[in-house]
Amino acid sequence: MNLRATKSSAILTVTDEGPGITSAELAKVFDPFYRGEAGNGTPGFGLGLAIAQPRDRHARRHDPRGERAAGGLQVTIELPLA
């Protein structure tokens, strides 16, 4: 996890070092019970990212972005400071 600030916003970045996901799966990974190809064969129910998805109205309004990072998923949320 990384938190940094600019003059106008706070930027929170969380990186998962798992096996990664395809671009096609990126839109689905926050759906409850969705388990991507890389998650098959590992324990769990497909709820982790659904639970961790920002529920705060300010975080949703500022468009959390997911990116396929080398070896995992990276999510960045930018919030205004003022």
* Separation CA 64–CA 73 (nearest Å): 13
Coil, strand or helix: which one is 37? helix
- Cβ-contact 18, 73 below 8 angstroms: yes
Structurally, how many domains does the chain consist of? Answer: 1
Q: Which helix (H) or strand (E) holds 23?
A: helix 23-26
Segment 20-49 shows an average pLDDT of: 76
Entry pTM: 0.58
More confident residue, 68 or 40: 40
pLDDT confidence of residue 56: 66
CATH number of the domain at 46, please: 3.30.565.10
What is the domain extent for residue 48? 2-80
